[in-house]
Structure 1
């Protein structure tokens, strides 16, 4: 989950195979289980391939069917063609001629009886990408049984799936290292319909977007579609099956005392409603997601955005601290609520949890960076295990630029660091990619699994159009240089509501960079961040002046203008003017 691709992430063929001298088709989706005579120790290997014209990503899952291994494991195989490994992850992968050796990483040398380990690699090839004939674990050929005489069958050939079809789920008891890799994402038909109704909207409407479950009523589906839609959780899961999608994304977003530092997305549950959050919100979602009917789907949950970092940055003693954030820190509602969600949802074999990790313009300073990671660890520990966390997501529903090629913390102007500029304001990071990669390292260093991956929401951080800088400024004034050179054109990096001038960012894609599981569109483009003026509603959504284009700001945004678009509806409702601007300013351009 931590490796970048070595070739284009666009897949022209998706295959899922397991190999052996004789093979037996285990499911109708193309998993083949290895089978040939072996020593008594025993092991089973599942080998999946996501292939394009000149390369492929291979994923290997090995299950030890023999005695526990305590001093390191080694998986070996021989390629039948001219495949050449270029990169590996979650194992030390080396190749000599056709022979490949994958050794356990130092942090995971043990492999108990019936325990599994997974690793992956990128490789080049030409001609036919033939499947290896067999695999071995510590010198024992893997037959799929604990001794000789396992089940046999005549060879079935090499099944393959058409482009866009989903790969099968990982073996029982294991999960895909990167749930986004090699599978097609769910396209929400409600969002598609709104996008297609806009001029040119069909250019982007086939991109997968997340489904927001932002109140209890949304679990079963709401009676009107003025905001986030009428379909419920089960409706979306059924639609994902009908599409043959490989993964579907939900935003779990209804904490008690939700969004304690803002008003536009205040929720329906009060600060002491943790019992209701558990029994009326999380439990029903978990029950639906656990239905065996959906076992073939990778269900990805984005867990409670704009929550845990508020307990670090927006309590008493901080600029703009609020009484509600003080309350939620004192009563443990956020930590315990997220812990409960991670526990219930993480127990489901095909569910993957990504916890919200703010963005560089929020917690990029040293005073916020490590403390935010620590409170995220507290929430994971409250779930019973850090294993309930697949990874983290940054920039959710935000606008921070993915890369700032001309403004990096190391950049100097006339002897002055750009960190001294008003825009950077001594932040250690200036863009989202470097922040996400660094924050992942911080999370691993304090106890999270080494194979966690990051997501970056790129739905509205493209900042394209005619005003996008194409070269660094020649100014010798540090503030002028930064303002003329930066990709992010917000008035202040703390501005978050319906930002004027924004554009669609990178399209959703898996494994785009080291440590990044995917670029995703979690905030569906065109759905408002909040209303420009007070609009009464029954969804618990208030009016925040940061969504008012006339607002002159507060301590959290340096008392700057909000930069918000006028005429916006309540949070989650369709905002046509914003969607059209996002398309016009898309980068890469449409």
Structure 2
């Protein structure tokens, strides 16, 4: 469920399709029905009001932090145990994206998960924030390797899409397949990635859902190259692109990069920035770097290009077996303590 990326140069990572014409037809039909696309200059907007500063995102009871907080033993009074409980409690209360992966929420179960999360968003009068992370050859065999087969992936996506349609009144943000495009040239599978992402966009579109293709980060591809990769998929049906997911780059750098990428695109483009672990900036490492801190709370920044920020990578989950961490996606109490020690004061 976690993705890990270098901040100085790309790490080695993740290494059928539905017709693109279908995506185009869906976009045109929805734009005609909603009546907003051309009038506002949105980048594939599928709802009346896009997310922005002040957006309240759901606090999910299913988060790893919430589970860690619930499992903490009240009889363990050691200093580390108390700090770990405090850190888990703090993180469990923060609006953070939920990562849908086939390992945790497989075919046959993922729709129920989305339905439950949508119910929480409805109860909280909040926006649902999902990361869809299940592409075939995910992470090119690196720490977050996995994903579905080319034949199973569309089925899984359709189940997610069906659950979102059933919760049509719930506003949702979907971060689609972190690293998939930024890694594609390195992994040699850009054509496959483009087809898979086009198909996923076509399936996931609905009113009140805003889809963001992942756009890497400011220390990876030059802005023009990242724009070329986004354009290869096509801008129809998506709101924009996500940046800094699972990374640590300073917010100002990512805001500048968002504007640079947008200037290189042929359609109006909007960005989401992950601020979950960038409170101390980057030290040049991409996998469990020490000394990092949580960043700005979700929904607190934004401008004419950057819709807002979101804690996309759940703080406290490991990037992989590096710098003392457990396997990718596992809860790591020591990291949770370090990331939150200033925020909890």
Would you say same fold, with TM above 0.5? yes
1:513 counterpart (294, 297, 303): 303
> What's the counterpart of residue 375 of structure 1?
229
1:579 aligns to what?
336
Q: Which residue number in structure 2 is paired with residue 298 of structure 1?
A: 171
Task: Pick closer, same or farther for the CA change 1:174–1:577 going to 2, 3 Å.
Answer: closer
Could you report, residue by residue, the CA deviation over 1:322-373 in whole angstroms, capped at 9, with x for unpaired residues? xxx12x23xx221111111111112x11211001000111113xxxx32321
Q: Secondary structure at the match of 2:172?
A: strand
Structure 1: how far apart are the matches of 2:59 and 2:296? Answer: 17
Preserved contact between residue 459 and residue 525 of structure 1 (Cα < 8 Å) = yes
Match of 1:218 in 2: 105
Matched, 1:345 2:220: no
Show the counterpart of 1:570: 327
Give, in whole Å, the separation in 1 of the partners of 2:244 and 2:60: 21
Counterpart Cα distance in 2 of 1:113 and 1:252: 26
| Shift, 1:285, TM fit | 0.9
CA distance in 2: counterparts of 1:518 and 1:217, whole angstroms? 28
User: TM-score scaled by structure 1?
Assistant: 0.46
Matches within 5 A, 1:167-316: 175-180=47-52, 182-191=54-63, 192-194=65-67, 196=69, 198-215=85-102, 218-219=105-106, 232-245=113-126, 247-260=127-140, 263-269=142-148, 273-279=149-155, 281-291=156-166, 294-312=167-185, 314=186
Give the paired residue count: 296
Question: What displacement does 1:583 show?
Answer: 0.7
**Structure 2-normalised TM-score?**
0.77
- Are 2:34 and 2:48, in contact at CA under 8 Å, matched by a contact in 1? no
Distance in 1 between residues matched to 2:311 and 2:299, nearest whole Å: 10
Separation in 1, partners of 2:39, 2:290: 44
Is the alpha carbon distance of 1:351 and 1:216 closer, same or farther for their aligned partners in structure 2, counting shifts above 3 Å?
A: farther
Deviations 1:175-225 (A, max 9, x none): 134224554211011325246452254444332111111116515787xxx
Q: 1:395 is matched with which residue: 226, 244, 248?
A: 244
Distance in 1, Cα, partners of 2:151 & 2:100: 18
The alignment's C-alpha RMSD in Å is 2.9
1:210–1:250 Cα contact (<8 Å) kept: yes
CA-CA distance at 1:497 after TM superposition: 1.2
Secondary structure of 1:189's counterpart equals coil
> Relative CO higher for 1 or 2, CA cutoff 8 Å, sep ≥ 6?
2
CA distance in 2, matches of 1:392, 1:208: 20
Partners of 1:460 and 1:497 lie apart in 2 by 12
Tell me, in whole angstroms, the C-alpha distance in 2 between the residues paired with 1:524 and 1:114: 33
